[in-house]
A and B are shown apart, each in its own frame.
Chain A
Amino acid sequence: MLSALLWLPLAVALIVVLLPRRFAGPVSAAGALGTLGLAVALALDFDAAAPGLQHVVDESWIPELGVRYQLGVDGISLFLVLMTAVLWAASFAWSAFRVPDRPKNYFLMLGIGEFATLGAFLAQDLLLFVLFFDLMLVPFFFLIGAYGTGNRVRATIKMMVYTLVGSLLMLVAAIATAVLASNETGELSFAMADLRANLLPDGSQEWIFCFFAAAFLVKMPAFPLHGWMPDAYLAAPPAVLALLSGVLSKVAAYGFLRVVLPIFPEATIQFQELILVIATVSILYGSAMAFTQTNVRLIAGYSSIAQLGFITLGVFSLSSDGANGAILQMVNHAVVVVPLFLIIVLLAERFGSEDLRQMGGGAMRAPVLAALFLIVTLATLAMPGSANFIGEFYILNGLFDAKIAFAVVASAGIAMAAFYALRLYQGAMHNPLPAGASSRELSLRDALVLVPLVGVILALAVTPGSVLTRGEASVQDKVGAVAEARDGFEVAKR
């Protein structure tokens, strides 16, 4: 079942290449809906009580190198997989309604992107994870470089070089992990379960941790490593931009939870505070930038940096509340930021500019658009009643127990979020209309994409527990690995 879910997007994308051009959009969108159907079926079939992996696929792939084709889903990845399928379906639908030039390549790349992202969330073999993590970037390189706007080629190469710098080091680190672990057991294996059973000695965990952390922090992006973000966000086509910010960044946060915590627990404890500092600074920096920027894309982009900071805080609080909140927040942020970016693009179309100062009065003749935007805005600023509120609450709760100083500083981020989110909404929707611009209601094709997405936000707000209960058992397991290591530490100290 997981294999079908994983390969379906790629298969559809390859079929689309063979079809005539005018079928590219509809067939791709139908394929994405099919993938979404499979993902929903998977979620319904999921046994919430079981802590371990479900639907495991385990086949030999390159036995000589110890790499296996191993997939599985647990409470951590279940909703991320579902979210990936939802957002890709939205992105495909959006693109199918606004078919770009050279559509076949576009949809091929989008399909490869979904394939790789699902692969990263499903992989249970460390090398397979790294492979998908790197592969994810290739389609985005083409999508931004060939279909973007402005200084797209420069931006896309910059993004590739930045993110692959981290990823390639991660490749070496992953191989080193397996080879060093095999010195103990004599059997080379990249399976995460095997690596977890044979933890590395202290000295090598540290540098390997650093390599992994570099890859994930660049991808998120987190504060000093975000240099590629503004360029890429400005150049990317809308549907791609939404995925870049909504889904790809989550793979990095997920990587911390899936790979780093259980496999390098001792290094995690050692570097906990460093990562917490980076995350806190990201929150403050991202928020501060978000309320000084005037380009609407960048406002949303920098707000993502802040939100990802929150998620990282949750993961590195090393408490089950924090990690659980982080998972919920990953899903929340993804389903909020995608409609946010799409609405921003619609507004930019209406005002002919992406500059917030040249916008205003967008709500005048567009009540539906305004209502959707308002819901998205309120979710972004974690209004009580939204699932984001619950996610951030869990994160801070976990953090208060672990490191109270960071929690206090991070709380300021919530207040700042309210400021920049409302500034964005007011600036675009209220205020007088600028000369020459007109307020237009949502067209049907855009509504078809946006309304379901906002529906997902509302559904999450009503039932956040569905994510939390399914995540709980698996989170306990990952955080438990660190707790064990911490106990070992304290015993050793005495």
Chain B
Amino acid sequence: MTFDAPDMDYAGLSPIIALTVGLCVVLLAGLVGRAQRRVVSVLSFLTLGAAGGLLIWQFGETKDLVSGALRLDDLAIVASLIAIVSAAFVIPLSWREEAADDHPGPAGHGEFQALVIASVLGMVLLAMAQNLITFFVGLELLSVPLYVLCGSALRRQQSLESGLKYLIIGSLGSATLLYGLAFIYGGSGSTDFAGIRDGIGGSLVDDPLILIGIALTVTGLAFKLSIAPFHQWTPDVYQGAPTPVTAFMAVATKAAAFAVFARFFEVALGPAVGDWQPALAALAAVSIIVGNVGALAQSSLKRLLGYSGVAQAGYMLVGIVAANEAGVQALFFYLAAYALMNLAAFAVITIRERETGFGDDIRSVQGLGRERPELAWPLTIAMLALAGLPGTAGFIGKLYLIEAAVDGDYTWLAVMIAVGTMISLAYYLRVIAAVWMRPAYHSDPTPEAGHRTLPAMAGGAPEATPDDFTPPPPAVGPRIGGLRCPVIIGLTILAAAATVFFGIIPGPLVEFVEGAGESITNALG
């Protein structure tokens, strides 16, 4: 009897293999020796670099892997690269983070970075998934490390709370999604995206099983993407989690989840486009309004970016609603631009969080323009880009999305993007105004302990005038503060510069995402 080994396309699987091996190596290396931060980081960069290189090497190819459970095409590659780049960006950000540095055991950095890589692995899987099983496995592999990372600042109550909250809500989302996937399997008789496509008819109105399945799936994905009204966890978790983790969560998760979103709806549910389009359009509109209005009153920058992320997810969803090739391209262009501008913003917040005692409060960036122009400019550019002003990649991204929406006969949704952007100006500009137009806030971060709040007449010392008042040392610990790490500042400036570059010369980025739209068309053909 002969036994045929299954045909394995090792080239196609190589990025996944590289990440898996690297993940184990990083974890183990973290356990060895004392001065491990540098070693571990180098290993992490090698892993991410190898995976990224293997993906770029296969750019433009299209192949089904492991009996069609995964598919390596430009859509998957673009989404994975966005995830990998953001992981490579947040690892240096985490170097001085208490989550990794103050860890009780010796394994801080190793564990932290291994978890990030594990999450990236989940994202790559998810971006490639074209089967309900890999879809779910990828999503869980993405989420579980993030739950842990959110709670990784063990000594901060907020961080633990954030991790727990994310765990509970995230599990709820996963369960909903799994339930929905089961319904879809039940209705179509297949777990393959192509099989589902064949299994469902043109209209779903008389097919309650599939309809329920789609509704639950959308809900589950909306939880992960923080699309309103399933976004309630976002501001809390974003604020509580260590800032590098928040940055990673905000950027990379969106890229991977939107990749599978696009593939699942446009490939598997393509024939029923008329049924899900209005529902997703409504979700997008709600998300744009809720996110932007919610952000208006925030004074914590991380919460502000959390709500802004809700709104931005709404904009991106428009790319899927448009249900055309241009829509998917617009979605990925926007994702790439969003990654750049958000990473720049979060990096500045991380740095200021350690330098001042204000945490992520907006006061921490007040007067930055005068004191630290090298940080003020990246933050300003990031905010202008998020607001979609010309000269930044954010403008081109919005242009792309609006064009796709109008082309897909969703002009009212294009108008919603414009309306949302108007609302958003109020809070993005507030941040810029704090940076450039207000003096630095040199006061005690906790008002009840501040001398300034006690005038002399009320029993305060008369010599405690604002002039000779020196800011208190940061309350968090001696290791934090005075962080002038050139690598982090350099990366921040790089991200901001790229945001401007792609706003003026968008050609390269457009070419980068072009294949993503085409891979949907290829999958259908």
Q: Could you list 9 A-B pairs, sorted by A, with CB under 8 Å?
A: A138-B389, A141-B432, A157-B429, A160-B425, A168-B421, A169-B415, A172-B415, A175-B414, A179-B406
Cross-chain contact A164 with B422 (CB below 8 angstroms): yes
Interface string of A78-120 (1 = CB under 8 A from B): 0000000000000000000000001001000000000000000
Give the CA-CA distance A134 to B391 in the complex, in Å: 10
B271 interface contact, C-beta 8 A: no
A297 at the binding interface (Cβ < 8 Å): no
A146 and B437 in contact (CB under 8 A), knowing A138-B391, A157-B430, A175-B402?
A: yes
A62 at the interface (CB under 8 A from B): yes
Stretch at the interface among B280-288, B338-346, B393-401: B393-401
B406 touching A175, Cβ below 8 Å: yes
Using CB atoms, name the residue of chain B closest to A112.
Answer: B391
Interface window among B102-110, B193-201, B233-241, B506-514: B506-514
Q: Considering the complex, which residues of chain A in the window 175-213 have a beta carbon less than 8 Å from any beta carbon of chain B?
A: 175-176, 178-180, 188
Task: Please indicate the chain B residues that have their CB under 8 angstroms from the CB of A105 in the complex.
Answer: 369, 436
Closest Cβ neighbor of B384 among chain A residues: A138
Q: Is A317 an interface residue (CB 8 A)?
A: no
> How many chain A residues have a CB neighbour from B under 8 Å?
34
B 429-441 binary contact with A (CB < 8 Å = 1; else 0): 1101100111000
Q: Would you give the shortest CB distance from B74 to chain A, in whole angstroms? A: 15
Task: Please state if B418 and A169 are interface contacts (CB–CB under 8 Å).
Answer: yes
A145 interface residue per 8 A CB criterion: yes
| Nearest Cβ on chain B to A303's Cβ, whole angstroms | 29
> In the complex, what distance in Å separates the CA atom of A157 from the CA atom of B400?
27
With A127-B399, A175-B403 already in contact, the answer to whether A62 and B510 are too (CB < 8 A) is: yes
User: Which of A67, A157, A168 is B422 in contact with, Cβ under 8 Å?
Assistant: A168
Q: Is the CB of B425 within 8 A of A161?
A: yes
Per the bound structure, the CA–CA distance linking A156 and B433 in Å amounts to: 9
Determine which of B390, B438, B506, B510 lies in contact with A134 in the assembled complex, contact meaning CB atoms within 8 Å. Answer: B390
B384: chain A residues at CB < 8 Å are 138
- Would you give the shortest CB distance from B315 to chain A, in whole angstroms? 13
Q: Main SS of the interface on chain B?
A: helix
Interface flags for A328-347 (1: CB within 8 Å of B; 0: not) read 00000000000000000000
Shortest beta-carbon contacts, A-B, top 3: A168-B418, A135-B390, A179-B406
In the complex, the answer to whether A134 meets B436 with C-beta atoms within 8 Å is no
| Docked-complex contact B436 and A171, CB < 8 angstroms | no
Inter-chain contact A152/B437, CB cutoff 8 Å: yes
Q: A64-B514, A138-B384, A156-B433 are in contact. Are A171 and B389 (CB under 8 A)?
A: no
C-alpha gap A213/B390 in the complex (Å): 20
Query: Does B417 sit at the interface, judged by CB under 8 A?
Result: yes
Chain B nearest CB: distance from A122 CB in Å? Answer: 15
CB-defined contacts of A152 to chain B, threshold 8 Å: 437
The answer to whether residues A102 and B370 also contact, given A62-B507, A169-B418 and a CB cut-off of 8 A, is yes
Interface residues contributed by chain B, number (CB under 8 Å)? 38
Question: Across the interface, do B425 and A164 meet the contact criterion of CB distance under 8 Å?
Answer: yes
Alpha-carbon distance between A62 and B508 when the two chains are bound, in angstroms: 10
- Asked whether, in the complex, the Cβ of B433 is within 8 Å of the Cβ of A145, the reply is yes
> Is B411 positioned at the interface, with any CB of A under 8 Å from its CB?
yes
Cβ of B407 within 8 Å of any chain A Cβ, yes or no, is yes
Task: Let me know if B272 is at the binding interface, CB within 8 A.
Answer: no
B407 neighbours in A (Cβ, 8 Å): 179
B426 sits at the interface (CB 8 A): yes
A348 CB → nearest B CB, Å? 23
| Interface check A15, CB cutoff 8 A | no
Interface centre among B399, B400, B417 (most CB of A within 10 A): B399
Q: Which residues of A contact B426 (CB under 8 A)?
A: 157, 161
Point out the residues of chain A lying under 8 angstroms from B417, CB to CB.
172
A145 touches B436 (CB 8 A): yes
A165/B402 in contact, CB under 8 A: no
B425 touches A179 (CB 8 A): no
B514–A172 touching, CB < 8 Å = no
Q: How far is the CB of B418 from chain A (nearest CB, A)?
A: 4
Q: Does A65 interact with chain B (Cβ within 8 Å)?
A: yes
Residues of B within 8 A of A180 (CB): 406
Q: Say if the beta carbon of A131 comes within 8 Å of chain B.
A: yes
Query: Given A64-B514, A175-B414, A176-B411, does the pair A141, B429 have CB atoms closer than 8 Å?
Result: yes
How far is the CB of B497 from the nearest CB of chain A, in Å?
A: 13
Known interface pairs A64-B510, A141-B429, A171-B398; 9 further A-B residue pairs with C-beta atoms within 8 A, sorted by A's residue number = A65-B403, A138-B389, A145-B437, A157-B426, A157-B429, A168-B419, A168-B421, A171-B399, A175-B402
Contacts of B425 in A (CB 8 A): 157, 160-161, 164
- For A146, give its contact among B391, B436, B507 (CB under 8 Å): B436
Among B369, B390, B395, B506, chain A packs the most CB atoms within 10 A around the CB of B390
User: Is the pair B391, A153 in contact by a Cβ cutoff of 8 Å?
Assistant: no
Chain A residue with the shortest CB-CB distance to B415: A172
Considering residues A169, A176, A179, which has the most beta carbons from chain B within 10 angstroms of its beta carbon? A179
Q: Contacts A132-B390, A135-B390, A168-B421; is A176 near B436 (CB within 8 Å)?
A: no
A142 CA / B370 CA spacing, docked (Å): 14
A142 touches B436 (CB 8 A): yes
Q: How far is the CA of A152 from the CA of B433 in the complex (A)?
A: 10
If A168-B418, A172-B415, A176-B411 touch, whether A62 touches B396 (CB-CB below 8 Å) is: yes
Q: Find the B residue at minimum CB distance from A176.
A: B406
Candidates B399, B411, B414, B433; contact of A65 at CB < 8 Å: B399
Q: Which residues of B contact A160 (CB under 8 A)?
A: 425, 429
Q: Shortest CB–CB separation between residue B79 and chain A, in angstroms?
A: 19
A270-299 contact mask (Cβ, 8 Å, vs B): 1 or 0? 000000000000000000000000000000
Question: Which residues 58-72 of A sit at the B interface, judged by CB distance below 8 A?
Answer: 62, 64-65, 67
Contact A153 B438 (CB under 8 A): yes
Q: List the B side residues contacting A178 at CB < 8 Å.
A: 403
Q: Residues of B contacting A67 with CB < 8 Å?
A: 399
Which residues in window 143-171 of A have CB below 8 A to B? 145-146, 152-153, 156-157, 160-161, 164-165, 168-169, 171
B406: chain A residues within 8 A (beta carbon): 172, 175-176, 179-180
Q: Which residues of A contact B370 (CB under 8 A)?
A: 102
